[in-house]
Amino acid sequence: MAEAVVSFLVERVGDYIIQEGRPLFGVGNQVRRAHRDLVFIKGFLKDADAKQRDSEAIRTFVAQIRDAAYDLEDVIEAFVLKVDSRRKGGIKNFLKRLGCIFVEGVRRYKIGSEIGVITITISDLKQDLQTYGIKEMRDSSTSLQLCEAQQLLRRTYTHVIDRNVVGLEDSVHELVGHLVKEEHRHRVVSIIGMGGSGKTTIAKQVYHHKGVTDHFDCLAWVCISQQYQVRDVLERIYVKLLCPTKEERDEIAKLKDDEIPGRLSRLQNEKKCLIVLDDIWKRETWDFLKAAFECHEDSKSRILLTTRNEQVASHADDNGFHYRPPPLNESESWKLFEKIAMSGRKAGIDAEVYTKMEELGKEMVQHCRGLPLAVIVLAGLLARKNTIKDWETIQENVGVYISRGFGRREEEHAYASWVLALSYDDLPYHLKPCFLYLGHFPEDHEIRMKSLTRLWIAEGFISLTKQRQSSGETMEDVAYNWLNELVERCVIQVGERSSTFENIKTCRMHDLLRDLCLRKAEEENFLQVVKGSQKNEAMHPVSSSSSMVTYASPMGKIRRLAVYLDENDDKLVPSLRERGGHLRSLLYIGPNDFRWFPKRKELIPSKFKDFKLLRALMIEGMHDGEVKIKLPREIGNMVHLRFLSLRRSNIKSFPPFLGNLICLQTLDFFVRDDYMFIPNVICKMNKLRHLYLPWRYRARGKLQLSALGDLQTLNYVSSRYCDLNDLAKLGNLRKLRIRLSSSQSKNLEKILDAAGCVLNGIRSLRLVNHVGMKSGAEVSQIVARCSQIYKLKLWGPTLELPKEFHSYSNLTKLLLSDCALKDDQMAILEKLPNLKSLDLCDNVFEENTKVLVFSAGSFPRLQFLELYALKGITEWRVEEGAMPCLCKLIIDYCRELSTVPNGLRHLTTLKDLKIEHMPKPFCSKLEEGGEDFHEVQHIPSLILQIPRD
């Protein structure tokens, strides 16, 4: 991990060097020298990382390198910000500088001296590499002994049939069907899942299934190690398929490397072959092997592969069948545990002892969350424990014992540890800090994707270098792609997706991987976590494991801190003692949807003055109707801050000193309470990329936003307190939310024409019209300028949509609420070619509209539809051929709707129907035996909320 940290810090320092106009004069040579030394040292850190587990001296050495790299970036940025601040401000600031030129010179000299000291430290550390016997290992190299041990441990064999198989019958049956049935023509069938989820076990059951052995003429199984020889892999497959004599084996051994793929391909065309490729990690592996698997379209041969990486499966065959093994349920988990841990005990021990062990075992098995490997390792550990005391001790530390044993040699411990550790070790260096950052969040926490990726950016994980390598993508695009890669590698899980199932909205971590994450973060001093109740105590990590297990003592300075809040906390800042001044990230986190009720107004003490190097500060959910929180002035001194979120907090005011935060990239001040006064200081934050203003606010005059050229998200710009002319200057704007609170019809068309290029680049638009019917035309004018939008939400009178609206080919998500649209507007809506999600709410149509008609051929790509609180609609008609792709339908609180449409039975793709808050007569018709049951009986999932009498 030191390699990963130093790598991204090297890129950050490199960015300062190559950026034009960066004021590094006076220290540029020192910075370049330190940068060169860090680049050199980086090549040795892979070996240092491997050796530090067994050497206290190397562990200390690695910590010194890590701290020196962090310190270098901190002091360079401080120097740059100091010089930049002196260069700006016009004649007034120039005269002020003349009066303080001596003081300024002293400050610059002091920072320059600090850079010099760090440069010397890095140079000395470079010289110490040889002293510690640390060898250079570039990315293409690796520790042979370590890798060979891991590969031997992971090597799988088809003749070793797992005895402890539980809950796999359905999985095996489905996979066998996709391999042998003629109607399934998948060339490649993939089993995808995280380490320990049972992929190999399932593959073995399939491989030995009678239906498979009867169907295929010949079979071959090969385990793909991370270090493999293409010739060796293909030769082993060929030998297993042919079952050759000794003479034939000798002939095969004499074949040239480029001859074997052709022979394998011909064999698969001539016979029905099943080839199992177990544990492919990378797409490149498939690329090296695929020539041997190219067959005719009518070939009956099949490939079964297992992988942790969904990209591998998709890369192998776009049309292949992908299978993710479900976790074991509670009953299956216990049955598996019982087979291993409890076998033979009942006859040999007291019944009371057995019952107590069973009780403890069932409690511990729940912690495994259905992960087969976790259950097996836990059961194997307890199988050798014969006293209640031993079981109770392990029960207190079950989380650690599942992932414990990293570096140990006992097989029952090491296998679980290697499986989890390998998933981490295989991550490229740029993903490791991103993965460890997830350790900030509590167990089972739903992590907001947008917050997470913006925190990564604030920390500098996505450097300018990485952005340049990504073909014009924004840093947000790069961060989202990295999040997707972590999902595809099965080290994090998707929580919630968008209504069209395309985008990730939240993610979470499996407990075992979170334990691994926290352990790695602690070993590398990457992160510290404390509970709110421990904030005045010495800091130590929090995990699902108890404190009995001791991690390596943290070395170096604390850089990141997460504080878990509970209802008993009355202040925010923990005691950080002398190490708090180096914090880069400070996150206060409660459970999902947690709202913290502070007991006093002076919530945030002046101790924030210690946190001058903070890049990220998150304090969300501080809310109580009676207590308003006052932000301390010290926050205004956090000039390094990139991310500040006070979302859903009851903040007293938007203080002017926030204008000092000139490095801010994300400012989330979204609160929905009383009107808040916003001073005209946002214009100073010219690096802002995402700005969330309060739901309601006031300002003196118009807020100036034209200087925010990097802005991508502008949430709730008020037409009353913001000058819409500024939109023309926001060339990177992608997400816009506008509250129309006063009529600007006289100048609006001119304003929109000037901002035409910017509005055409908008991808997500939300308009809230609080003026009334008169401004309906204004809404239409704005929407007409945003023809490339993907997502549109309209609240309030709209009356008519733009005439060209039906041709908005990018639009995939649409919400309309209280729009009072004219009857003929449905003819425009239903022609949208790529609309996938549609919400119709409240008075979406004008008052005299009684019948809602979805005509034949309407909404050709729609997958999700919600009708909510539609007023005045008494009848809904769905003609045959409408919504041919609809998957999910929600009807909620449409009290005047008497029945579901007759055409619902034609929606053969509909999988989920949810009926909520509807009259009892409406619901009764949909129950089995009801007069409309025939309309819904084909739908697999019907959730019918029947109102009480």
Give 881-890 pLDDT, tens digit per residue.
999 999 999 9
What local confidence, expressed as pLDDT, does residue 53 receive? 64
The residue among 854, 5, 901, 63 whose CA lies nearest residue 459 is 5
Lowest-confidence pick of 362-366, 409-413, 789-793, 914-918:
409-413
Q: Which of 113-127, 498-512, 731-745, 752-766 has the highest mean pLDDT?
A: 752-766
C-alpha 117/C-alpha 110 separation (Å) is 11
Place of tokens 């190690």: 225
Print the SS3 string covering 682-740. Answer: HHHCCCCCEEECCCCEECCCCECCCCCCCCCEEEEEECCCECHHHHHHCCCCCEEEEEE
> Which range among 220-234, 383-397, 560-574 shows the weakest confidence by mean pLDDT?
560-574
> The tokens of 263 are what?
């022979």
Region 484-488 average pLDDT: 81
Instruction: Phi first, then psi: give them for residue 214, nearest 5 degrees.
Output: -75, -30
132: left (phi over 0), alpha (psi -120 to 50) or beta: alpha
Residue (of 531, 528, 523) closest to 550 by Cα position: 523
| Consecutive H or E run containing 814 | strand 813-817
Tell how strand 506-508 and strand 585-589 pair up.
unpaired
Q: How far is the C-alpha of 946 from the C-alpha of 751, rounded, in Å?
A: 51
pLDDT at 411: 41
Tell me what percent of the residues of the chain surpass a pLDDT of 70.
75
Please state, in angstroms and rounded to a whole number, the distance separating the CA atoms of residues 606 and 636.
12
Answer yes or no: is pLDDT of 623 > 70: no
The residue behind tokens 């300024």 is: 104
pLDDT reading at 107 higher than 70: no
Sequence-distant (6+) residues with CB within 8 A of 144 are none
Question: Would the CA dihedral through 878, 880, 883, 888 be positive or negative?
Answer: positive
**Cβ–Cβ under 8 Å, residues 671 and 650:** yes
Confidence of residue 192 (pLDDT cuts 50, 70, 90): very high
Cβ atoms of 720 and 698 within 8 Å: the answer is no
Q: How far is CA 124 from CA 43, 117, 463, 476, 882, in A?
A: 16, 11, 27, 37, 73
**pLDDT at residue 476 is higher than 90:** yes
State pLDDT tens for residues 819-862.
Answer: 989 888 999 999 999 999 999 999 898 888 899 999 999 999 99
737 pLDDT tier (thresholds 50, 70, 90): very high
Q: Which two tokens stand for residue 36?
A: 């060169």
Q: Phi first, then psi: what are they for 606, rounded to 5°? A: -70, 0
Q: What value does the mean pLDDT take over residues 462-470?
A: 62
* For residue 614, pLDDT beyond 60: yes
Please give the order of strands across the beta sheet that includes 493-494.
447-448, 506-508, 493-494
Treating both helix axes as pointing N-terminal to C-terminal, what angle do 28-42 and 2-18 enclose, rounded to 10 degrees?
Answer: 150
Helix (H) or strand (E) holding 577: none
Inform me whether the pLDDT recorded for 571 exceeds 70: no
**Among 189-203, 400-414, 464-478, which range has the highest average pLDDT?**
189-203
What phi, psi does 119 have (nearest 5°)? -60, -45
Q: Which pLDDT belongs to residue 85? A: 63
Residue 388: C-alpha distances to residues 349, 358, 365, 807 (Å) = 11, 10, 16, 71
**Using N-to-C axis directions, what is the helix angle for 246-254 and 230-242, rounded to 10°?**
150
Averaged pLDDT for residues 343-350: 70
Top pLDDT among 138 and 369 is at: 369
How much is the pLDDT for 339? 86
Q: Which among 381, 380, 389, 342 is positioned nearest to 362, based on CA atoms?
A: 342
Most confident of the following: 120-134, 155-169, 601-615, 653-667: 653-667
Q: Is 10 helix (H, G, I), strand (E, B) or coil?
A: helix
d(CA 131, CA 120): 17
Specify whether the CB–CB gap between 196 and 419 falls below 8 A.
yes
Name residues whose C-beta falls within 8 Å of residue 436's C-beta, 6 or more positions apart in sequence.
1, 517, 520, 521, 524, 526, 527
Q: Are strands 560-564 and 585-589 parallel, antiparallel or unpaired?
A: parallel
- For 405-533, list the strands marked E by DSSP: 447-448, 493-494, 506-508, 528-531
Helix (H, G, I), strand (E, B) or coil at 142: coil
Confidence grade of residue 150 (pLDDT, cut at 50, 70, 90): very low
- Select, from the ranges 219-233, 378-392, 776-790, the one with the highest average predicted confidence (pLDDT): 776-790
CA–chain centroid gap for 327, Å, is 21
CA 891 to each of CA 554, 839, 848, 919: distance values in angstroms, whole numbers, following the listed order: 55, 10, 21, 11
- Provide the token pair at 845: 């149509």
The pLDDT value recorded for residue 549 is 30
Q: Where are the alpha helices (DSSP H) in 504-579?
A: 511-523
* E strand map for 509-648: 528-531, 560-564, 585-589, 616-619, 643-645
The pLDDT, as a whole number, for residue 615 is: 92
Q: In terms of Cα–Cα distance, which of 797, 805, 803 is closest to 842?
A: 797
Mean pLDDT over each residue of the chain, to the nearest integer = 79
What average pLDDT does range 777-783 have in this prediction?
88
How far is it, in rounded angstroms, from Cα 613 to Cα 75?
A: 10
Q: Is the pLDDT of residue 140 over 50?
A: no
Which is nearest to 281 in space by CA: 137, 439, 435, 419?
A: 419
Q: What is the CA radius of gyration of the chain?
A: 31
**Cα–Cα nearest to 547, from 555, 556, 557, 537:** 537
10 Å Cβ neighbour count for 940?
8
In the predicted model, is pLDDT for residue 540 greater than 60?
no
373, 510 Cβ separation under 8 angstroms? no
pLDDT higher than threshold 50 for residue 146: no
The residue count for the chain: 949
Average pLDDT of the segment spanning 270-288: 90
Cβ atoms of 630 and 653 within 8 Å: the answer is: yes
SS3 state at 301:
coil
CB-CB contact of 115 with 72 (8 Å): yes
- Bigger pLDDT: 63 vs 584: 584
Flag whether pLDDT at 546 surpasses 70.
no
Range in 154-168, 406-420, 568-582, 873-887 the model is least confident about: 406-420
- CA–CA distance, 819 with 517 (Å, rounded to integer): 48
Two tokens, residue 318: 């776009």
Mean pLDDT (whole number) for 445-461: 92
Least Cα distance to 618 among 458, 401, 851, 393 occurs for 458
What is the C-alpha separation between 327 and 330, in angstroms, rounded?
Answer: 9
141 by DSSP, 3-state: which? coil
The region that residue 743 occupies, defined by phi over 0 for left and psi between -120 and 50 for alpha, beta otherwise, is: beta
Residue 641 has pLDDT above 90, yes or no: yes
Does the pLDDT at position 30 exceed 70? yes
- Pick the more confident residue, 332 or 2: 332
- Tell me the longest C-alpha to C-alpha distance in the chain: 94
**How many CB atoms neighbour CB 880 within 10 A?**
12
Q: For the chain, percent helix, then strand, then coil, each to nearest 5?
A: 45, 15, 45
User: Is pLDDT above 60 for 292?
Assistant: yes
Question: Which one-letter amino acid corresponds to residue 695?
Answer: W
Which helix (H) or strand (E) is 124 found in, with range?
A: helix 101-128
pLDDT of residue 155: 53
The pLDDT value given to residue 410: 43
**Tokens 């022979």 map to which residue?**
263
Residue bearing the bigger pLDDT, 510 or 658: 658
> Is 90 exceeded by the pLDDT of residue 353?
no
**Tell me, what's the pLDDT at 711?**
96
**Which is more confidently placed, 709 or 396?**
709
- 101-128 and 28-42 are packed helices; what angle lies between their axes, rounded to 10 degrees? 20
pLDDT at 732 over 90: yes
- Name which residue leads in pLDDT, 64 or 826: 826
Cβ pair 704, 725 in contact under 8 A: no
Strands 676-677 and 735-740: what pairing?
Answer: unpaired
Of 855, 845, 837, whose CA–CA distance to 901 is shortest?
855
* Contact assessment for residue 70 and residue 6, using Cβ atoms and an 8 Å cutoff: no
